[in-house]
Amino acid sequence: MTTETNTSPIFSPLTLGGISLRNRTVRSGCFEGMSEGGLVTDRLIEHHRRVAAGGIGMTTVSYCSVSEDGRAFSHELWMRPEILPGLQRLTAAVHAEGAAASLQLGHCGFFASPSVIGRRPLGASPKFCLFRLSYCSQMTPAQIEEKTEDFARAARLAQEAGFDAVEVHAGHGYLLSQFLSPWTNKRRDAYGGPIENRVRFPAEVVSGIRTAVGPDYPVVVKMNQYDAMRGGLELDEAVEIARAFEAAGATALVPSCGFTAKTPLNMLRGRIPLWEMVRAQKGVFYKMGLSLFGWAMVQHYPFEPLFLLEGARRIRDAVSIPVGYIGGAFTKDHLDNLIADGFAFVQLGRSTIRDPDFVARLERGEITGSDCDHCNRCVATMSVQGVRCVAQEEGLLPS
């Protein structure tokens, strides 16, 4: 290892709440598609063990619904005591490789799949979901209280399973994001209207989790800088939301972007793998829907390095808790410069899908960045066959 690598900011240790990470890299929550029956599988465990062995500071298991009615797919984790033994095996495998493990907790809200949950989805307000061709019910105050308790219960179980942190998903158009966004929140009660009302439920969730897990346990909140569509959340309000999450007890924030049911690739950027998405679908109905209407559901956003930097800086400067960076960071210079710029850590997604050893190879000086070409075909297959680098399998990228 070179002297330069030894002093590299990204490879310095990080204290986050009551834990210490060996470096400042965090595997972002990338839906694995490896939880058949809503259970922890050997394939899921090996996936995260492999990323941990590849040098990551902390890996994030994605996505775990806090209740059965928050799922988009039948092969998504949903938190219940029955899956604790599997989760404990997963965290033990990650810890054995020297990394920490985080569990991403969320609820799909209005884009939950009616065929999976067996009922009408819940949302901030009544809303038609083009992705599901379904119409959700507006949550009552009693249901809001119930889901707040579900988040707290799920966090307690994650702690019991050996996870070093939880990541609350309040971005990307998931349920908490649906309350924050004026595009999905048309309520006229204490949970709708001005931003102080729209942030009430998400902040209550963070506060409830904080009470459940204690003062030192890391509670990371993933949130949106903006939703990327007309009538959606914008950066000025996101700054106020960040302050509310800090006041509610968040340990750290990760400002992202995009809305799964409206602007899904805004958070990724790069090629639209539409025909790969069509081919990956098992049902004729979904194949036809994507073929005919995919152009309206999946917009193109050209990839640019560090495409969320300006907004992330604004949010970082508005709070006193650590802020992690996500969005187009894929070289060692990017990572070092982000830490030197004041970000506490950097979340990595496709770089580690492309090469699970990405972080270790950077540290050893074998590479200076990822050769992922942002084709997004890993996204096209993750929900059906499990996440993997399709380009590498086809020999289009070196092994």
pLDDT at 299: 75
**Residue written as token pair 């070093």:** 164
The H or E element spanning position 225 is: strand 219-226
Residues 6+ apart with CB under 8 A from 58: 21, 25, 26, 27, 99, 100, 101, 102, 164, 165
Q: Residue 12, Cβ neighbours under 10 Å: how many?
A: 14
Question: Which parts of the chain sit beneath pLDDT 70?
Answer: 1-6, 273-298, 380-384, 393-399
Q: Which helix (H) or strand (E) holds 43?
A: helix 42-53
**C-alpha triplet 44, 307, 101: angle, nearest 5°:** 25
Find residue 128's DSSP bridge partners.
135
State residue 180 phi and psi, 5-degree precision.
-75, -30
Task: Tell me what pLDDT residue 388 has.
Answer: 83
Residue type (1 letter), 16: L
pLDDT at position 133, please? Answer: 81
Cα distance between residue 70 and residue 266, in whole Å: 22
Per-residue pLDDT of 335-350, as tens digits, reads 999 999 999 999 999 9
pLDDT score for 280? 59
pLDDT in tens, 2-13: 434 458 999 999
Residue 281: per-residue pLDDT: 56
Report pLDDT for 340. 98
174 is catalytic: yes
Give me the catalytic one of 63, 135, 174, 325. Answer: 174
- Cα separation, 319 vs 162, in Å, equals 29
DSSP category for residue 267: G
**Which residues are within 8 A (CB) of 22 and not within 5 positions of it... i.e. 6 or more apart?**
13, 57, 98, 99
d(CA 169, CA 107): 8
Taking the C-alpha atoms of residue 145 and residue 151, their distance in angstroms, rounded to an integer, is 10
* Residue 151 CA, distance from chain mean position: 15
Is residue 373 helix, strand or coil? coil
Give the domain 3-393 fold.
Answer: TIM Barrel (3.20.20)
